[in-house]
Structure formats: C-alpha cells, structure tokens
Amino acid sequence: MKSSKKVVNKKVSRRGLKKNLHSKIMGKKKITKKIRTFKPRTKPTNTINIKENEYTIIYNTYLKYPEFVIEPINIKTGTTLQGQVIDRSKFVDPFLPSPKVDFNKQHTWGTYLNSMFYGFSPGHNAPAGNHKTDQSTYLKTFQLTNMCPQEMVFNSGLWVVFENWSKDLARNKNLYDINIITGSSKIFDTKNIPILPEEYFYKLFEGNNLISEDMIKEYQKSKKQNIKVPKSMFKIVTCKHRELDDNTILYIILDADNKPFYFSEGSEPIVDKRGKDKMQLKLKPFSISIKTFNSKYKTNFINLIKSVYSRHKNKIKFDKISNHIACKYYFPFLIELQMKKSYWYGKMIYAKNMQELENNWEKLQELKERFRDLQYHRQFYLLRKLMLSKRIQ
C-alpha cells in the first residue's frame, strides 16, 4: 500500500515560475542582479552669462543676440562721475565684438550695416543712456553682445518710450529695488541680406547722394548671408513699494512686435506743446499677463524674477505695478521730436518706388533745421535708393 503524501497547493506567480525554471536549468547558482549606472544627461546650452559692472547679459550664441539683460537701476542711473566727460559724437562706430564671447558667435558690425538694407539696426538691450558712469562703462553698451537686430522705426520710436519710462521710475520716491529685464523672442525670422564690406558703406554714406555704377554692380554681385531677427521684444520692470511689505514685488511686462510702430502725431508739425496738449502714451495696452509671457517667450516668469531677487528668504508675492502708480508716459519735447524723426525713418525705408522716396526725402529736408541731425535718415535714404534703382532690378 502506497503511502499518501499531503499535497499543498501553492499559488505561484509567473515570475516565480520563471525563476524556478531558470534555477532548474542553471543549477542552484546564486544569481546577482547587474546594477546599471546612469550618467546624468546635461542638455547642451547655447547661453553664456556675461557679467558687466552695471548689468548682466544672458547671451545666446546660436541666435547671436541676448535672451535677457538684467539691470538694477536707481536715482543715480545715467549720471556721470565727476571729472568724466562723455560725448557720443566723438565715438565713430563704437560697435565692437565682446572679448568675452568667441568672435564667430557674434554678429559683426558689417552684418548690422548690411541689415540696414531691410530696415534693421543694432538695438541696445542695456541702453547706453543708462550707463554713463564713465567712458569705459558707456562704451561697453555698444559691444555686439548687447545688441539684437531691431527694426529701425520701432528701435527709434516705441522702444525709446519703454526705455525712458522704465528709467524714470527711479524718480518715484515710493519705489525702490528696481530692476529692468530686457529680452527678445527665441522665435525669429531669417532675413537674407547681402555680404558687403564695411568700406562699401563708408564710401556710400560719405559721398554725395549720387550712387555710382560700380557700387550698384557690387551690390548686384554680392553674396548673401542669413541673420536671425527676433519676432518680438519685451521689457519687464520689477520693484518694491515703501507702503507695501518687503516681499511684495510689483511688475509690468511691456511687449511689442519687432516691426514699425507709428505714433498718430508722427506727421504733425513740430510744436513744443505744453500741459494737457503734451504728447502722452498709456502703457497698459502694451502690457501682457504672466501667462501670456510664459507662453510667448518660453520662459517661466516666476523663476526668472526669483533669480533676480534670490536673496529673499521668504516667499515672494506679486502685484501689478499699475495697481499702485499711473502707467502713462508724458513726452518731453526732445523725445516727442525723436518720435517724429522715427516716423520719417519709415518714410525712407518703406518707400515703394523711386518717386515716392524722392518726394519723402524732399519733404524731410524742409524739417532739417528743426530736426538738426538727419545723418541716419540719409543713410537709409541712400540704401533704399540703391535698392529701388531700375538698374538693379
């Protein structure tokens, strides 16, 4: 009689079955798991931090223009030290490459000259007027790592308003710890521009208003290069208010497309208006929300501002600056004059034919005495004249 053994039914998982099967095949060797080691991936970065005395540039070597420029400002911003003299007219073409970035990762001055054919200019991120402490500090603002390709009507018009209004906030005694963050979109248009040497432009600009056949032929035969032009630009202003707690940061995000913006008063006669008749501009229509900024500029606004106010140990609170001060710019006469000059850049750059261009140039000459300096208008006039010439079509 066979002895009966007690059978115990055990539920075995699939993994267990595989393990038992493997043990049977391989014997009862001790199996050790191999531990895979992962090296942390570091994303390649195109940005370089450039620390200057009065501002910091986060420069993009692929785009060849800054992503951000961070400037702390105060009541002394733009003033010159005693004994220092700064005269912009004495600096001929101070636009130079920065020694802190490889030369081939910056635009050249020649590239910016060629971009003028299509109405672009080297636009400051940290304005030269904010950094006149001494000659060295002033000239550094002209380094090409502080520039981006900016449409000329916009650069000489609306952008000047953004710059001046932001700087003027330092006069408000209730505001302190003011920072300005200027930047450009990483979304860009690629413009195909000529490759002509710097000497070509000096010859064109220093001559009379006649363009020689040789210059036309040289323009015709010139090779092409690409330049990345940001689609839009912004200026963030942050500060604290003496009547609010220290952890409250007031902000405004000013935003505009990198294209011509014309003031309705641009074509009006040049008159030094007073009081209520003075030219003025509400800035709220140019401001955008944090959500819009994050989406449009692919940047986390909160983290950006926290990096500026990194010394804060407590949690930062945000509030719109428009809830506490009037966000309106009243134009001093010289800035109003600048807006009218800006209008006339557009009349040179975007003239559709030679007759329209010559008519606009003739009208501008009637304002020469009041505008005084029309040097850059003449340069854009000559470039447009060269492009519209029938001999090069």
> What pLDDT, on a 0 to 100 scale, did the predictor assign at position 244?
96
Asked whether the predicted pLDDT for residue 161 surpasses 80, the reply is: yes
For the CA atoms of 25, 27, 29, 32, what is the dihedral angle to 10 degrees? 10
> What pLDDT, on a 0 to 100 scale, did the predictor assign at position 143?
96
What confidence category does residue 294 fall into, taking pLDDT thresholds of 50, 70 and 90? very high
> What pLDDT, on a 0 to 100 scale, did the predictor assign at position 275?
65
The helix (run of H) or strand (run of E) holding residue 226 is strand 224-230
CA distance 259 to 236: 19
Q: What is the pLDDT of residues 249-272, one digit of tens each?
A: 999 999 999 999 999 888 877 777
DSSP 8-state symbol, 287: B
What confidence category does residue 380 fall into, taking pLDDT thresholds of 50, 70 and 90? very high
Percent of the chain with pLDDT over 70: 86
CB under 8 Å, gap of 24 or more: what pairs does 100-107 form? Answer: 100/48, 100/50, 100/145, 101/48, 101/50, 101/59, 101/61, 101/145, 102/61, 105/61, 105/64, 106/64, 106/144, 106/145, 107/64, 107/65, 107/144, 107/147, 107/149, 107/227
Q: What is the pLDDT of residues 220-251, one digit of tens each?
A: 899 999 999 999 999 999 999 999 999 999 99
CA distance 319 to 301: 13
- In this prediction, residues 365-393 reach a mean pLDDT of 86
Domain ranges of the chain: 47-330
For the CA atoms of 325, 327, 330, 331, what is the dihedral angle to 10 degrees? 140
> What pLDDT, on a 0 to 100 scale, did the predictor assign at position 355?
96
Q: What is the pLDDT of residues 319-342, one digit of tens each?
A: 999 999 999 999 999 999 999 999
> What pLDDT, on a 0 to 100 scale, did the predictor assign at position 85?
83
Inter-CA distances, 374 with 159, 160, 299, 364, 365, Å: 19, 18, 39, 9, 9
Tell me the pLDDT of the chain averaged across its residues: 88
- In this prediction, residues 83-101 reach a mean pLDDT of 84
Between vectors from CA 183 to CA 130 and to CA 102, what angle results, nearest 5°?
Answer: 90
- In this prediction, residues 273-296 reach a mean pLDDT of 90
Asked whether the predicted pLDDT for residue 48 surpasses 90, the reply is: yes
Tokens 């963030």 — which residue?
236
Please, which residues have CB within 8 angstroms of residue 275's CB and are 6 or more apart in sequence? none
Asked whether the predicted pLDDT for residue 33 surpasses 50, the reply is: no
Domain 47-330, second-level architecture: 3-Layer(aba) Sandwich (3.40)
